[in-house]
Structure 1
């Protein structure tokens, strides 16, 4: 049964990732991968909120499987983050490559922390 929840979440997360990435990136005329950055930070926030809610007993484990594993797993993308960072470094945009790594880690961890803190507060 859990695998159906994962699939259902992924069915929504994957297209939303693509559409969000394209929408965000279209608004920026830069080599920095804002679309991937945005979906990853949003996914970290959602996962932090969800994990906090499950930890504090405000949400069932099945919701974590549906939204955490399925939705967030399909929404976020470590492989695209890695590829885009490598592409930036290889093309000579080393500052943007380093900024992508640092900003993604700091913002992702910060978003997860904020999400967990919000869950605890609610």
Structure 2
């Protein structure tokens, strides 16, 4: 990895983290629920983008450098497994077992589905 690529991935990660803060704050300001919808939306959207960019890179349509910058940097900074895990534990600690299970399983299913959709969209674009 070159110093320039390292810098680009690092900056993209910072942008992704800042974007996560903005998106989560906007969702929390508009949606009043115990279910952490902001984190769910963030992780699903990030999985969609990652699937799409990865498929384009594997097909040679997008240079692998962009996969690293967008996938590892931007999506890595944007998505958050640790927050999703913490929010699930918090729901269980509050004895909201159904919401905790829905958050854990729902996020996994939706994020994997979004990643597959991103791959499918990439393939569709490639032809």
Task: Give TM class, smaller chain.
Answer: over 0.9
Aligned length: 122
TM-score (norm 1): 0.97
CA distance in 2, matches of 1:83, 1:3: 29
Partner of 1:53: 56
103, 107, 110: which one aligns with 1:104: 107
TM-score (norm 2): 0.93
- Provide runs of 4+ in structure 1 moved above 3 Å: none
Partner of 2:29: 26
CA distance in 1, matches of 2:94, 2:29: 20
For structure 2, the residue ranges without an aligned partner over 5 or more in a row are none
Partner of 2:94: 91
Residue 77 (structure 1) aligned with residue 80 (structure 2): yes
- 1:4-23 superposed matches below 5 A: 4-23=7-26
Name the SS for the 1:11 alignment partner. helix
TM-fit CA distance, 1:3: 1.3
Residue 113 (structure 1) aligned with residue 95 (structure 2): no
TM-fit CA distance, 1:11: 2.2
